[in-house]
Amino acid sequence: MRLERLSLFLVELPLVAPFATSFGEERTKQAPLVSLTADGVMGWGECVAGSGPWYSWETVETARYVISEHIRPLLSSRKVFEHPSELPAALAPIRGHGMAKAAVEAALWDLYARLQRKPLYQLLGGVREAVPAGVSVGIQPDIPSLLAAVEGYLAEGYQRIKLKIKPGWDVEPLRAVRERFPDVLLSADANAAYTLADLPTLRELDRFGLLMLEQPLHFEDLLEHAQLARELATPICLDESITSARRAREALALGACRIINVKPGRVGGLTEALEIHALALERGIPLWCGGMLETGIGRALNVHLATLPGFTLPHDISATKRYFREDIADPPFELRDGHLPVPQRPGLGVEINWDRLLRSATWSRTWKL
């Protein structure tokens, strides 16, 4: 592949409902979208950095800066790639900024798979044509609203319910959902809202038969998670703390988690995610694919990744309409028997809707490489 052009778009889409976590509430989705062109074919990637430095220190603005000012010159000086897995080494001079790098790598994978005329999952070694969908339920104003939301999602067919929790919204909502839906696969995600001083509360969560407790402690911590893991029966899953395959190896060596949530953006790209997958298979650690309220571009990437054999638990990959009334990619993802079908067309298998992209773009730029 001889790269010819790089484009960067900043899009903003309204969410169908506000999404609240332990670190705040989102009402719109902002996303940098990257396209790379070679041989007249265009590949797309989405950056999962948020509008502010809350989930991660990367933001849409740091991603725009790093892609425009640092990744672009590295692409320009190299231009030719035989395979997308060569990109991480080419970007190694840039330390950190994994979400910015991952967006560009995703565009290169899409481009590569389109040029090969194969759906991405076949190139990754995927083994499924549909992936089980779970849903992440934001912090609600009260228990009745929570129960109504969960009931609605279960009626739609979601296979696992994950509740966002924070101090003050933990034991009661989990108890209420567990009492009302005794058999549902249920998990909780704290987005790093607790400390070891909260051990008495976290111990209470053991009573609800949770599939896992996701990222209870500090976003960079491994040692305290290992300590907590020894105190709880519920398996700990790490999200924010696993920013690379290196960190995944450290976490497993320390006993900090028994399950890993893989987000290609958070770990610095698809190649790094594949390395975590290989490690998890070797160690017998179950994986699932997390979500960042992606548009259809990022959602498609997640669906392809989730087809790999080590991804054995339901994912945070929901139908498009759970987040957006109108997406910038077609066709929208729809639930079928609690699963999302894997796009079978070349590459990511979704197409940009240019009309909607241009209507939702707040900024864009194209460079010749």
Residue 110 found at the interface with ligand SMG (CB under 6 A) = no
Q: Exactly one of 31, 102, 161, 293 binds ligand SMG (CB under 6 A); which one?
A: 293
Q: How far is CA 8 from the centre of its chain?
A: 20
For the chain, what is the largest distance between any 2 Cα atoms, rounded to a whole number of angstroms? 60
Q: Binding of ligand SMG at residue 85 (CB under 6 A)?
A: no
Q: Which residues of 190-217 are buried (b: 16+ CB within 10 A; e: fewer)?
A: bbbbbeeebeeebeebeebebbbbbbbb
With binding defined as CB under 6 A, does residue 318 bind ligand SMG? yes
CB atoms within 10 A of CB 226: 16
Which of Mg ion, ligand SMG, none is residue 291 near (CB under 5 to 8 Å by kind)? ligand SMG
Q: Which listed residue (105, 110, 239, 327) binds Mg ion by CB under 5 A?
A: 239
**Structure token pair of residue 178:** 């567990």
Closer residue to ligand SMG (CB): 62 or 136: 136
* Distance (Å, whole) CA 63 – CA 106: 14
Q: Give me 237's structure tokens.
A: 């899953």
Contacts with Mg ion: how many residues (CB under 5 A)? 3
Verify binding: residue 316, ligand SMG, rule CB under 6 A. yes
79 in catalytic set: no
Is 173 among the residues that bind ligand SMG (CB under 6 A)?
Answer: no
DSSP string over 22-61? TTEEEEEEEEEEEEEEETTEEEEEE---BSSSSSSS-BHH
Q: Stretches 120-128, 152-160, 208-216, 242-250: which one binds Mg ion (CB under 5 A)?
A: 208-216
Residue that the structure tokens 């987040």 belong to: 323
Should residue 294 be labelled a site residue for Mg ion when binding is judged by CB under 5 A? no
> Closest separation between CB of residue 76 and Mg ion, Å?
35
361-368/130-132 β-pairing: unpaired
Q: Which is nearer to Mg ion, 293 or 342 (CB)?
A: 293
Work out which of 10, 26, 102, 216 binds ligand SMG, going by CB under 6 A. Answer: 26
User: In this complex, which beta carbon is closest to ligand SMG, that of residue 274 or of residue 319?
Assistant: 319
Residues counted in the chain? 369
Q: Is 263 labeled as catalytic in the residue annotation?
A: yes
Alpha-carbon torsion angle 88, 94, 96, 99, nearest 10: -60
Shortest CB 224 distance to Mg ion, Å: 17
- Nearest Cα to 200, choosing from 159, 238, 165, 167? 167
Counting contacts by CB under 5 A, is residue 189 touching Mg ion?
yes
Asked if 319 is part of the footprint of ligand SMG (rule: CB under 6 A), the reply reads no
Regarding 110 and contact with Mg ion (CB under 5 A), the answer is no
Q: Does 324 bind ligand SMG (CB under 6 A)?
A: no
Binding partner of residue 55 among Mg ion, ligand SMG, none, CB under 5 to 8 Å per kind? ligand SMG
Q: Of the candidates 290, 314, 343, 347, which one interacts with ligand SMG according to CB under 6 A? A: 290
* Concatenated DSSP letters of 259-305: EEEE-TTTTTSHHHHHHHHHHHHHHT--EEE------HHHHHHHHHH
**Which residues of the shown chain bind ligand SMG in the complex (CB under 6 A)?**
21, 26, 55, 136, 189, 191, 239, 290-293, 316, 318
Chain residues binding Mg ion by CB under 5 A are: 189, 214, 239
**Which residues are known to be catalytic?**
164, 263
